[in-house]
Structure 1
Amino acid sequence: MTLLEVIALDARDAEAAQAGGADRLELVSGMGSGGLTPSADTVRSVLAATDLPVRVMLRDAAGYAPADLDRLRRDAAELRAVGAAEFVLGFLDGDSTVDLAACRALLGELDGAAWTFHRALDNAADPVAAWEMVAGLGCDTVLAAGSPAGVSEGLPVLRKLADRQAADGLAVLVGGGLKQQHVPELLAAGISGFHVGGPARVAGWDTPVDPDAVAGWRRVVDG
């Protein structure tokens, strides 16, 4: 079984992604900063618009360090209160290794909710060593391109991570410069999760998710 996750910014995106055949949504705001925490009102409206699983971003600044961890903890509690049940997060410290303390502080607000460690992994000094650290945090998914430059540059790292999935109990979700031509090679490597944002839209982030574009991705990831 393959997983197609689509980035949504609002309820309209959520409805279009579901119509096109997405399996799951990543809900964010602020794509100019790489994806930030959405408002409680947006989370509420998206949950009302779709019955797909929705993973909600917990990130308050560009980069991979929290600007205000206490505020993020309050945001997490508020979003859980309006119905959010799955999340996306991940932090690095000043040495570009996984910031376990910051991650655990925020995870303390999630009460065991399913979550994804996001592309902070790509920006770690050693992505494979970062994977080992993340495996102990309790997520079920790692969103990665294998490189800050995107999937084309990150394929060798993605293959290494794919080989570790079963042993570490984690699934690789590939996103960040993902192109349809990458998918057959990734499937052959044992990766079954695919994450798209801009490519699910007709003309970038200023346009909504297009169900036909999502359907095209659905056909590709299903082989």
Structure 2
Amino acid sequence: MSKRAVLEVIALDIEDAVAAQAGGADRLELVTEMAADGLTPSARTFAGIRAAVDIDLRVMLRLADGFAAGDAKDLDRLVGVARELRDAGADQFVLGFLDAEDGVDLDAVERVVAALDGARWTFHRAIDRAADREALRKQLADLPGLDTYLTAGAAEGVDGGLSTLTAEACRRGEQGYDQTILVGGGLRLEHVPALVDAGLDAFHIGGAARPRGWEGAVSAGAVAEWRAVLDG
């Protein structure tokens, strides 16, 4: 019997979180400020959502739009925020930083990961902007806690990244390819059959869970439609 596919839904607040869980989400990615593609929510927001649902929560660690960690002061601030969230009970995270040449900013990633104290984390769609995906994966391969890449396979989204996603799925077991591929970024229901056929079993949705767009809340019904397709 094949294992159930993971469905992760972006949640901005308690209302989103409760609806996503009711619809069958396995995990939430907690963010704020979707106009900036998702920034770190407050520890208070995390605590409220943690009290409202009992599924896994992954908290975004990102203080400004873009994929740069910023200067030393910015990085110090982010490390402090990561520790504050950890102290509030957060035990899963989402992060990813690139340098000026679009290589992985390993120093920044290592500093933040050290503050996570062994917690599990996702390297997010910064991989889709990286100059060399394979080099990035190999540089991160041995970092503690890294168990997932959130990726569309291409910067423009899943439409352009299907071949990359299916090729990377075939490399499981190679150095840098042991992490779960969490498919997200322009993901639509019609993409799912081909991705499942390729052996992919983790999916991430944001706008697709919100029939009224980002101004509206997550719809339990929309999440349930994804759950039904993934379980079908």
Output the TM-score relative to the length of structure 1: 0.97
Give 1:160 shift.
Answer: 2.0
**CA distance, structure 1, for counterparts of residue 134 and residue 198 of structure 2:** 16
Q: Which residue in the other structure is 1:159 paired with?
A: 166
**CA distance, structure 2, for counterparts of residue 121 and residue 28 of structure 1:** 19
Aligned residues: 223
**CA distance, structure 2, for counterparts of residue 133 and residue 180 of structure 1:** 33
> After superposition, where does 1:85-164 map in structure 2 within 5 Å?
85-138=91-144, 139-164=146-171
Counterpart pick for 1:39 among 37, 42, 53: 42
**CA distance, structure 2, for counterparts of residue 38 and residue 28 of structure 1:** 5
> After superposition, where does 1:54-93 map in structure 2 within 5 Å?
54-67=57-70, 68-93=74-99
Counterpart pick for 1:194 among 188, 199, 203: 203
5+ unaligned residues in a row in structure 2: which ranges?
Answer: none
Q: Which residue in the other structure is 2:13 paired with?
A: 10
Moved over 4 A (4+): none
> Partner amino acid for 2:84?
E
SS in structure 2 of the partner of residue 108 of structure 1: helix
> Partner amino acid for 1:147?
A
Counterpart pick for 2:193 among 159, 184, 191: 184
SS in structure 1 of the partner of residue 171 of structure 2: helix
SS in structure 1 of the partner of residue 214 of structure 2: helix
Q: Which moved more, 1:12-21 or 1:63-72?
A: 63-72
Q: CA 1:129–1:222 in structure 2 vs 1: closer, same or farther (change >3 Å)?
A: farther
**CA distance, structure 2, for counterparts of residue 28 and residue 97 of structure 1:** 24
**CA distance, structure 1, for counterparts of residue 141 and residue 168 of structure 2:** 11
SS in structure 2 of the partner of residue 104 of structure 1: helix
> Partner amino acid for 1:175?
G
**CA distance, structure 1, for counterparts of residue 43 and residue 87 of structure 2:** 9
What is the RMSD of the two structures over their aligned residues, measured on CA atoms? Answer: 1.0
2:26 corresponds to 1:19: no
Q: Which moved more, 1:207-216 or 1:136-145?
A: 136-145
**CA distance, structure 2, for counterparts of residue 165 and residue 40 of structure 1:** 35
Tell whether the 8 Å contact from 1:121 to 1:130 is kept in structure 2 after alignment: yes
SS in structure 2 of the partner of residue 56 of structure 1: strand
SS in structure 2 of the partner of residue 172 of structure 1: strand
Give 1:82 shift.
Answer: 1.0
> Partner amino acid for 2:33?
G
Give 1:19 shift.
Answer: 0.2
Give 1:28 shift.
Answer: 0.4
Output the TM-score relative to the length of structure 2: 0.93
SS in structure 1 of the partner of residue 200 of structure 2: coil
Deviations 1:136-189 (A, max 9, x none): 323000000011100000111111221123433211000000010100111111
**CA distance, structure 2, for counterparts of residue 178 and residue 53 of structure 1:** 21
SS in structure 2 of the partner of residue 109 of structure 1: helix
